[in-house]
Structure 1
Amino acid sequence: MVVTVTYSPGPHLDRFLASLSLATDRPVKVVIADNGSTDGAPEQAEKRYPNVQLLRTGSNLGYGSAVNRGATQITDAECSEFFVVANPDVQWGPGSIDLLLQAADRWPRAGALGPLVRDPDGSVYPSARHQPSLVRGGMHAVVGPLWKSNPWTAAYRQDRQDPSEREVGWLSGSCLLVRRAAFDAVGGFDERYFMYMEDVDLGDRIVRAGWQNVYVPSAEVLHHKGHSTGRDPARNLAAHHRSTYTFLADRYPAPWQAPLRWTIRGALAARAGLVVGSSRRKQAKGR
């Protein structure tokens, strides 16, 4: 069972579905949770591929909320233990789903397992990371854009570690094998996150519930990153900062921690103002 979320995915969706036969020899049902596409691609996919079910969510709910809706379509007969969550701009590598399932046998407490994710240029995307602590995550956010090789970013992204099968803090939501029991135990994705950080939050709650996030680099996918995130960079940057505040505020909820939350909010607002403004100026120059 595979759940993917679409928002006018264009040709990415057909490549996603066509390459799925490389990922596993098992019969696979695909639920497309569509957030209001206008390009006709989800409808065409449902007609072309007999294993595809199109679920219209009714509006643009965001990624995590749409995945949750898609997961409700899973029956016990179709998925007794695992299902896959993946972006429609993923291209599957040979045996990628089967390799994730094999790893799940080696890690019986794995709530989520993620493959090695390659960018379109062939480089490895840091899809398996530590949780963003205040110091590590804060320094990554503040220093990272100016000093790419800083030690806090390297530690957070685990850039200097060779790919190895291991437990990590969280995994990119672009492609995950999810254990249904773990997903149900934590209530799926937190629907307050419209865009960004929903995978960080899910990974954190999986660990807090006694499960593990496991990186499986023997399984590979290619992520084209052309689905929706590049359409309005300034809007996406603003959304990222809002989601980051939601995530951090949840981790420091006590009344006596209010000054820390205020500081986090102020710092993120200042950073958002700078990066969003810079992005809009670049967009204006490019017109």
Structure 2
Amino acid sequence: MLICCFNPTLLQVSIIIVNYNVRHFLEQCLHAVYHAIQGLSAEVLVIDNASTDGSLEYLQPLFPQVQFIALQDNLGFAKANNHAAKLAKGQHLLFLNPDTLLAEDSVQKMLALMEAKPQAGALGVRMLDGAGQFLPESKRAFPELIPAFFKLTGFARLFPRSAFFNAYALGHLNENQNHPVDVLAGACMLVRRDLFQQLNGFDEQFFMYGEDIDLSYRIKQAGYQNWYCADTSIIHFKGESTRKGSSNYVQLFYKAMQQFVRKHYSGSKSALIVQGLQIAIVLRAGISLIKRFVTSIGMPLIDGLIIFSLFWLSKHYWETNIKQFPFVHDQIIILVPAFVLVYWLAAAFSGLYNRIYAPKKILSALGIALLSTLAAYALLPEGWRFSRAVILLGSIGSGLGLWLFRWWLLRIRWLKPDATGQVIDRAVVLVHAHDQAAAQSFFQSMQLDTRVVQWCNNESDCEQAVVANQAHETILVSGHLSMHQLIAFADKLKGKTALRFHHAGSRSIIGSDSKDSSGHTLSK
């Protein structure tokens, strides 16, 4: 085990950021970084992987204190970080993604925990996505067959706190407490410089994904621990890299997992896990196809099947338990298709099939179908009438079945919560009074001021304004309001509204609605 000694000639920390075509995210990131290293001896190195969006030309005049390193080719995450690490002068190396926002206390809290835990070789933090939701990859286990299978097939999402089903994300460990863990995320990873050098840095065979898992594994093999630090939280948008929900992400990520397994596991265990991962990738692709079908043309068909089944069960129950004789005619053959047709029309008109979870719209569509059916029932010949109770019972059963089906789709994130009532062009801004004039001027220059329905100077007023104005998005302005406050507020909102971030005096606004969605940027 390497003994780490303090070197007074070194800075406390070197922050290394690899950039590729995300200049506006990096602009906001660097503003947050410089507030986070106040009072520390630190340096910031940005290594640009041959960006084509003019990142260097845009950012160098804004941040002359940053050491920018321009590469002629995209070397990938591992090679670029290793290149910068050789130039770094810090006792600790903080590898940071450009689509992150640090709180003012983030670096200090990480360094404090590293000092308090001499056995810690590396350290990661509690991360939230751009919607304020906790990112489970903040703490992870090493790849194993069963946990990887549950992650790929979605069982981990159904049981997020299970030590068995969500073992990969260590779901049983409290996200608000510090823990030694297996794997830290490379999006924000603090590593002891001498240990990083001893291990020869990131393995450059990994181009994208897997580098952090591999380094975490080698750190533990060297006798150190990897620590998850819940003392501070950061934002990690993730929207400007490969989308996590995409098939391309699945292929890249799990190929990296296979590469890791082949490198570190041997014999039958390695072969078994690799084969299992390949099977899981095929299953995930199949699940993706099923998801596309279910959430598009399949949804109305499944709705019709649920309604037909529950009407048939209601009819059968009524025949066998209430009226002890069969119906004269099999009226259900005519009744249910008519009921379903009216339900489909009402559901489509209300937007129920827009991949959202909307129980009120289910009730509305069922109510229209029920009233229409009862009206038509009254016009039937006497010999064709059977029982209004069957229609009512079938409708109630259908409502329950449709709700349970959509509740399950919501749980596995195939549907989104209903945003009905939120007005897309309405935004609420949380900004300190000292920064409000500058923010208003920027918004006017971007022609965004017409979307802002209320300017708020504290979190309580902002939260009330979002509800009162049915606002679709909330823009959080850092400056005199600390990023620590804004991250805590985002954590409190947890997806109730779309979140955007802007540093007072900067030239851009950034955001991402979830880890599965592309990022949003607005700039001059």
Report the TM-score when normalising by structure 1: 0.86
**Structure 1 contact 46–54 (Cα < 8 Å) conserved:** yes
Alignment partner of 1:43 is 2:54: no
**Structure 1 contact 245–268 (Cα < 8 Å) conserved:** no
Q: Give the C-alpha shift of residue 158 in structure 1.
A: 2.2
Q: Would the alpha carbon gap of residues 228 and 91 (structure 1) be closer, same or farther in structure 2, given more than 3 Å must change? A: same
Provide the aligned C-alpha RMSD in A: 2.9
**Residue from 58, 65, 86 that aligns with 1:72:** 86
Q: Which has the larger radius of gyration?
A: 2
Q: Would the alpha carbon gap of residues 85 and 258 (structure 1) be closer, same or farther in structure 2, given more than 3 Å must change? A: closer
**Residue from 86, 109, 114 that aligns with 1:99:** 109
Unpaired runs of 5+ residues, structure 2, are 1-13, 298-524
**Residue from 198, 216, 231 that aligns with 1:185:** 198
Q: Which amino acid aligns with 2:247?
A: A
Counterpart residue number, 1:136: 147
**Residue from 200, 205, 219 that aligns with 2:218:** 205
Alignment partner of 1:263 is 2:272: no
Q: In structure 1, what is the Cα distance between the partners aligned to 2:60 and 2:41? A: 16
Percent same amino acid among aligned pairs?
Answer: 28
Q: Deviations over 1:179-212 (max 9, x none)?
A: 1122112221111111112111111111011111
Q: In structure 2, what is the Cα distance between the partners aligned to 1:118 and 1:262? A: 31
**Structure 2 contact 142–182 (Cα < 8 Å) conserved:** yes
Q: Would the alpha carbon gap of residues 265 and 233 (structure 1) be closer, same or farther in structure 2, given more than 3 Å must change? A: closer
Q: Give the C-alpha shift of residue 146 in structure 1.
A: 7.8
Q: In structure 2, what is the Cα distance between the partners aligned to 1:165 and 1:99? A: 12
**Residue from 82, 87, 92 that aligns with 1:82:** 92
Q: In structure 1, what is the Cα distance between the partners aligned to 2:288 and 2:31? A: 37
**Structure 1 contact 196–243 (Cα < 8 Å) conserved:** yes
Alignment of 1:1-287 (within 5 A): 1-25=14-38, 26-74=40-88, 78-79=89-90, 81-126=91-136, 127-144=138-155, 147=158, 149=160, 151=162, 152-162=164-174, 163-230=176-243, 233-254=246-267, 259-260=271-272, 263-264=275-276, 266-268=278-280, 270-271=282-283, 273-274=285-286
Q: In structure 1, what is the Cα distance between the partners aligned to 2:248 and 2:147? A: 25
Q: In structure 1, what is the Cα distance between the partners aligned to 2:183 and 2:208? A: 16
Q: In structure 1, what is the Cα distance between the partners aligned to 2:94 and 2:252? A: 25
Q: In structure 1, what is the Cα distance between the partners aligned to 2:189 and 2:157? A: 31
Q: Which amino acid aligns with 2:168?
A: Y
More displaced, 232-241 or 261-270?
A: 261-270
**Structure 1 contact 245–264 (Cα < 8 Å) conserved:** no
Partner of 2:42: helix, strand, or coil?
coil
Q: In structure 2, what is the Cα distance between the partners aligned to 1:117 and 1:3? A: 18
Q: In structure 2, what is the Cα distance between the partners aligned to 1:89 and 1:217? A: 20
Q: In structure 2, what is the Cα distance between the partners aligned to 1:213 and 1:167? A: 6
Q: Which amino acid aligns with 1:201?
A: D
Displaced runs of 4+ in structure 1, greater than 4 A? 145-150, 256-259, 275-282
**Structure 1 contact 143–150 (Cα < 8 Å) conserved:** no
Q: Which amino acid aligns with 1:55?
A: I
Q: Deviations over 1:192-236 (max 9, x none)?
A: 111112111111111011111111111221111133223993332
Q: Deviations over 1:103-144 (max 9, x none)?
A: 111111211111111111212212012222233333333453
Q: In structure 1, what is the Cα distance between the partners aligned to 2:122 and 2:235? A: 19
Q: Deviations over 1:58-80 (max 9, x none)?
A: 22222122111111111xxx31x
Number of aligned residues: 280
Q: Which amino acid aligns with 1:246?
A: Q
Unpaired runs of 5+ residues, structure 1, are none
Q: Give the C-alpha shift of residue 280 in structure 1.
A: 9.7
Q: In structure 2, what is the Cα distance between the partners aligned to 1:231 and 1:36? A: 23
Q: Which amino acid aligns with 1:13?
A: L
Q: Give the C-alpha shift of residue 157 in structure 1.
A: 1.0
**Structure 2 contact 21–51 (Cα < 8 Å) conserved:** yes
Counterpart residue number, 2:449: none
Partner of 2:226: helix, strand, or coil?
strand
